[in-house]
Amino acid sequence: MRNVTLRQMRVFAAVARHLSFTRAARELHLTQPAISQQMRLLEQEVGMPLIEQIGRKIRLAPAGIELLRYANQVTELLREAGESLAAMRGLKRGLLKLGAVSTAKYFAPALLSAFTPEYPEVNIKFTVGNRDEIVRLLGANELDLVIMGRPPAELATAAVPFAPHPSVFIAAPQHPLANRRQIPLASLARESLLVREEGSGTRASMERLFAEHHVTFRALMEVSSNETIKQAVMAGMGLSFISAHTLGLEVGAGRLAILDVAGLPLVRDWYVIQLREKRLPPIAAAFRAFLLEQGAAIIARTIGTSLAVNGVADSMPQKRRALPEAVAPRKRARRAARSVSR
């Protein structure tokens, strides 16, 4: 492998990504014969075939699957080196690879919109998925940072809280429980619940809540989308436990009601998370610092209105609300230090 070039590794990574010489050539602005030549030279150096061709289709050979791991690492290191050097020159550019669980998509665009004016040359790759998907991508080093409500225990990460995350039970406005006050959690055991899929952070939080109170719930339907859950609740199919940050206009318009359940809302935190051993590219480090300083306030401005209308903001424990601007950075710094030390 001593004579392998960076050009060959880039060509191989593109071919592996597209499983097409034509599309790889288009991405790299090369001719297809040039792609073929680089692949032949790389295979000669490796001493084994990297791809297998069956008819017009190609796929990675076992050696290709193994080499792709290292090709991706080389590409990532070159990106980080380029961004670090650009930062030293005072340039505000680079690629931010951000992931978020699906519940965070309701406010993440507002965070990015507030961040990018200071970094107009930044490119953003924003990936949304359920918890298991985002954890897998983070573990594969395909994301610089992720936003989620519970740090993954299965990975060695540095996780820092940056905003409160309330969750509530919702119902159709005409539901009998919509006008009751301080509803015992046990009363919900008799109701039909619409729940998120296995692997969802919201589902895990709901299951822990019921388990802690020794209450068994009845799941009528499992749904992989917050939007579908809200539509089903509005249609009168049942109740659901959901992040208050997903409710947006539906509550303000009177199409959904937040139930007054004793002990709720359940207020946890939103975290910004990275692999513990990963050295963040400068642009990712800048976005992380931005979240710690301004994230909570931006989320409150973006979707806080619907919470205030229904008293959710007022019922949140005072210590878990967005911290005053002068106090928040110091408290977050202490929490961050404790998180990293763990």
Mean pLDDT of the chain: 85
CATH code where residue 32 lies: 1.10.10.10
Residues 64 and 27 occupy one common structural domain: yes
pLDDT (tens digit, 9 = 90+) per residue, 274-312?
999 998 988 999 999 999 999 999 999 887 644 543 445
Which of 243, 221, 242 is closest to 232 using CA atoms?
221
**Average pLDDT for residues 87-110, to the nearest whole number?**
85
312 assigned to some structural domain? no
Nearest to 146 by CA among 333, 287, 271: 271
Residue 86 to residues 80, 112, 273, Cα–Cα distance (Å): 10, 21, 24
| 171 and 263 together in one domain | yes
Range of the domain at 172: 165-267
- Please indicate whether residue 132 or residue 303 has the higher confidence score (pLDDT): 132
Inter-residue contact 6 to 78 (CB < 8 Å): yes
Kindly report, residue by residue over 237-267, the tens digit of the pLDDT.
999 999 999 997 798 889 999 999 999 999 9
Q: How far is it, in rounded angstroms, from Cα 191 to Cα 177?
A: 10
Look up the pTM and report it.
Answer: 0.67
Domain CATH code at residue 337: 3.40.190.10
214 assigned to some structural domain: yes
Strands (E), the chain: 51-54, 57-60, 93-101, 121-129, 145-148, 157-171, 192-196, 218-223, 239-243, 257-258, 266-275
